[in-house]
Amino acid sequence: MPRAIWKGAVSFGLVSIPVKLYGATEEKDVRFHQVHAADGGRIRYKRVCQIDGEEVAYSEIAKGYELETGETVILTDTDLAELPLSASREIEVLEFVPADQLDPILFAKTYYLEPEGSAVKPYVLLREALESTERMAVVKVALRQREAMAALRVRDGVIVLQTMLWPDEIRTPEFAFLDDDVELRPQERQMAASLVESMAADFDSDEFHDEYREALLQLIDAKTEGAVTVASTDEGDESGGEVVDLMTALKASVDRARSRRTGESTPAPKKKTAEPAKKTAEKKPAAKKAAPRKRKTA
């Protein structure tokens, strides 16, 4: 595990559990720098004042809030230090709520909590209480100079703290289709349910991986080795053209899902426009000419 990023205590009732906070997730994005395409030199940016055009030192930069009138209110570090932000290292439990009452859309960042020293027993006691009652603890905590609402839950035997968005940070969905009166036939409902059942499975996160990131890393490796292109992993389009009938699309999806589960292969729908091109390609002696070309580059 990386180093703890915060130390404090979980407090509920008269019980206080000293804990350490660790980041539970990490992004695996491939990060790029902006460079000059001609020579690879890094692109640097200067902090320049819009009014006088002069470069500004970081120590001279303050926070500004723009009003609707276009005027700017300047806030200094002294101003911000006077705000009533809790400086205590405490995770205060406000209440214990049923786990299904917290909408996942509220969750933001996830952290692991590790007990410190002799706090293992009360830590385990809280963990067992959360699991046996199937509840989460709603808490308040001050992290990175900001008060946050969060939830405590149990994952793999560890108490997890998940910061949450405030209710007014969740946007209300306002879409025109929500007012449409859509009629669904019983056959369509039944076929859609059959599709869901045919694709039902127990979720295993290890079965999924970031194909784009893998392809991007392959491209970087190929560029490093001096190659020009990398092999494509695209399996082709099996849509078979525009779908005009919902029932037909649902039935085809059910059949394909069932065939995948049984291991049987389902032939891809033929495209009328692709057939002549395929026959023409088979008549060309492309394979005989390609072989000598590969030996020359080797």
Could you tell me the CATH number of the domain that includes residue 88?
A: 2.40.290.10
| Residue 282 maps to a domain | no
Say whether pLDDT at 77 is over 50.
yes
| Residue 58 maps to a domain | no
| Residue 235 maps to a domain | no
Residues 120-138: tens digit of each pLDDT? 999 999 999 999 999 999 9
| Residue 13 maps to a domain | yes
pLDDT, position 87: 58
Residues 202-227: tens digit of each pLDDT? 888 788 888 888 888 888 788 787 75
Most confident range, picked from 15-19, 28-32, 135-139: 135-139
More confident residue, 110 or 84: 110
Say whether pLDDT at 245 is over 70.
no
Say yes or no: 162 and 252 in one domain.
no
| Residue 65 maps to a domain | no
The model's pTM: 0.65
Give the position of tokens 């026959």. 279
Mean pLDDT, range 5-33, rounded to an integer: 88
Domain that holds residue 187: 174-200+243-262
- The residue among 190, 167, 199, 216 whose CA lies nearest residue 29 is 216
Average pLDDT, the chain: 80
Using pLDDT thresholds of 50, 70 and 90, give the confidence band for residue 264: low
How far does CA 252 lie from the centroid of its chain?
A: 30
Using pLDDT thresholds of 50, 70 and 90, give the confidence band for residue 251: confident
| Residue 71 maps to a domain | no
pLDDT, position 38: 87
Number of separate domains in the chain: 2
Q: Angle at Cα 125 formed by Cα 122 and Cα 129, nearest 5°?
A: 140
Using pLDDT thresholds of 50, 70 and 90, give the confidence band for residue 154: very high
Say whether pLDDT at 104 is over 90.
yes
